[in-house]
Amino acid sequence: MASTDPAQSGRWRQGWWSPAQCVASPNFGLRPAGMAVELVVLHSISLPPGVYGGDAIERLFTNRLDPSAHPYFAQIAGLKVSAHFLLRREGGLLQFVSCDRRAWHAGQSSWRGRDNCNDWSIGIELEGLEGHDFEPPQYLALASLLQAIARRYPVREVVGHEHVAPGRKHDPGAGFDWSALCRQPGFPAALRRSG
């Protein structure tokens, strides 16, 4: 199990955060030349929706999801998606894509007049269901991860998928407590949040 407090013992290696369990995804690309990472986008995911645990999320992000394993999986068969990180309900951390690379998490998106948020953001999936509550260990681990990211990259803001793709996406949703995140030890004071 990966450490739930990444700020304590980790180091960056070519965009990989060593406390996270590495589950490399083929779904990534290069960032545009000279593009700085200035944004973190938070998402929520559970597969099937409302079911926690298991390896379905890892299988989705590595193109190994069996469409016959659940009726919902047939609806998303063939999707080529990824995120940089996944935070499990108990605070366990997985990494799928180097933060130096472009993960495929935000889709058609725009923030503060800039399009294509994938080009200049880091995507973090929280195991959960949009509109539902998240767990205290997730907030603690997320604050520590954001601190590590802010020390490594010039990120200025953390937003939800719902903010960069309004009307199209609704995650992490009303169940995500932005104030609770900001109260966590280690949350970077200079990082603006837009939730």
Listed by start position, the domains of the chain span 18-193
The yes-or-no verdict on residue 7 having pLDDT over 90 is no
SS3 9: helix
Interval 120-134 mean pLDDT: 97
The yes-or-no verdict on residue 87 having pLDDT over 90 is yes
**Which among 38, 131, 37, 140 has a CA at the least distance from the CA of 87?**
140
- Distance, in Å, from the CA atom of 85 to the CA atom of 45, rounded to the nearest integer, reads 12
pLDDT at 189 (0 to 100): 87
Interval 96-120 mean pLDDT: 98
- Distance, in Å, from the CA atom of 154 to the CA atom of 108, rounded to the nearest integer, reads 23
The yes-or-no verdict on residue 57 having pLDDT over 90 is yes
Mean pLDDT of the chain: 94
- Going along 59-135, which residue ranges are E strands? 85-87, 93-95, 102-103, 110-111, 114-115, 121-127
> Are the beta carbons of 90 and 33 closer than 8 angstroms?
no
pTM: 0.94
Interval 70-85 mean pLDDT: 96
pLDDT at 10 (0 to 100): 62
* pLDDT tens digits, 144-165: 999 999 999 999 999 999 999 9
SS3 157: strand
- Distance, in Å, from the CA atom of 164 to the CA atom of 170, rounded to the nearest integer, reads 10
Q: What percent of the chain has pLDDT over 90?
A: 90
- Distance, in Å, from the CA atom of 127 to the CA atom of 104, rounded to the nearest integer, reads 17
The yes-or-no verdict on residue 1 having pLDDT over 70 is no
The yes-or-no verdict on residue 5 having pLDDT over 70 is no
- Distance, in Å, from the CA atom of 63 to the CA atom of 78, rounded to the nearest integer, reads 7
Candidate CATH numbers 3.40.80.10, 1.25.40.10, 1.20.1440.230, 3.40.50.300; the one for domain 18-193: 3.40.80.10
Interval 98-118 mean pLDDT: 98
> Are the beta carbons of 131 and 173 closer than 8 angstroms?
yes
SS3 127: strand
Residues labelled catalytic: 125
Q: What percent of the chain has pLDDT over 70?
A: 94
